[in-house]
Amino acid sequence: MEYKLTTPLKKEDISKLNAGDVVYLSGTIFTARDEAHARVLEMAEEKKEVPFDLEGAVIYHCGPLMQNKEEKWEVVAAGPTTSARMSKMTPQLLEKHKVLALIGKGGMANVTEALKNRCVYLAFTGGCAALAAISIEKVIKVHWLDLGMPEAVWELHVDNFGPLVVGIDSHNNDMFLEISKKAKAAYSKIE
């Protein structure tokens, strides 16, 4: 199935998605890599509010390349980064905030249970930084630029951002895990 969704997402948006479905997003998404995840969790521990709204939010594992033209940020490239780096922090993030979708590349280890009934993982093909940039209409705001350009949180307005494949749905289905199991089974028959 193919879906066009608008952020902020609602539970019913993600509950209809199944592993393997294709999604295009419009609305606001937030980039966040390792350092941004760590800061969000640190702020939650200190009972401080983050300066952006994560209710129904989509977090894009991305360290974009930006250019500042005439006091206005423009996206040069915004391809996905490897999501596995954020796997360890994801369960805590989802406990503290109502993030409903994560976007990245390569899948995530040991998060399927944390995503159950709460969030989906959307895979974006690596090497498509220019394609991603085309779907980003504007930079709304940048948060935590002190972390550096790739680690800052970029609040982006997107239109038909994708194609994104549901890699892990909210029903405990992990496409990456299933493909890995099938590959191992096929390989064991060859030996």
User: Tokens in use for 76?
Assistant: 């040069």
Q: Are 156 and 29 in contact (CB under 8 A)?
A: yes
Q: Is residue 5 packed enough to be buried (19+ CB in 10 Å), middle (13-18) or exposed (0-12)?
A: buried
Spatial neighbors of 162 by CB under 8 A, at least 6 apart, are 22, 23, 24, 25, 124, 135
Strand 65-69 with 72-77, pairing: antiparallel
Catalytic residue among 37, 61, 97, 143: 37
Angstrom distances, CA of residue 175 to CA of 33, 114, 139, 155, 169: 22, 16, 32, 28, 9
168: part of which helix (H) or strand (E)?
Answer: strand 153-168
Pairwise CA distance, residues 86 & 39, whole Å: 13
CA 68 from centroid of its chain's CA atoms:
24
Active-site residue, 143 included: no
Which residues are catalytic, by number?
Answer: 37
